[in-house]
Amino acid sequence: MREYVRDHERLEHMLEAIDRILAFAEGKTKDEMEADNLKYY
């Protein structure tokens, strides 16, 4: 049986990471993001 509570926690963690990435990338062009390998990946 799957652990639905843990699945939910994992999904919440992923959504938080996506929000951080979007906030960081806001206002930057694709070229600006690609120019910094550490931040790009």
Residue ranges of domains in the chain: 4-40
Alpha helices in the chain (DSSP H): 4-25, 30-35, 37-40
What is the residue whose two structure tokens read 């919440």? 12
**What count of other Cβ atoms lies within 10 Å of the Cβ of residue 22?**
9
Mean of the per-residue pLDDT values for the chain? Answer: 89
| 1-41 pLDDT, tens digit each | 568 888 999 999 999 999 999 998 999 999 998 898 887 78
The separation between CA 32 and the C-alpha centre of its own chain, rounded to angstroms, equals 17
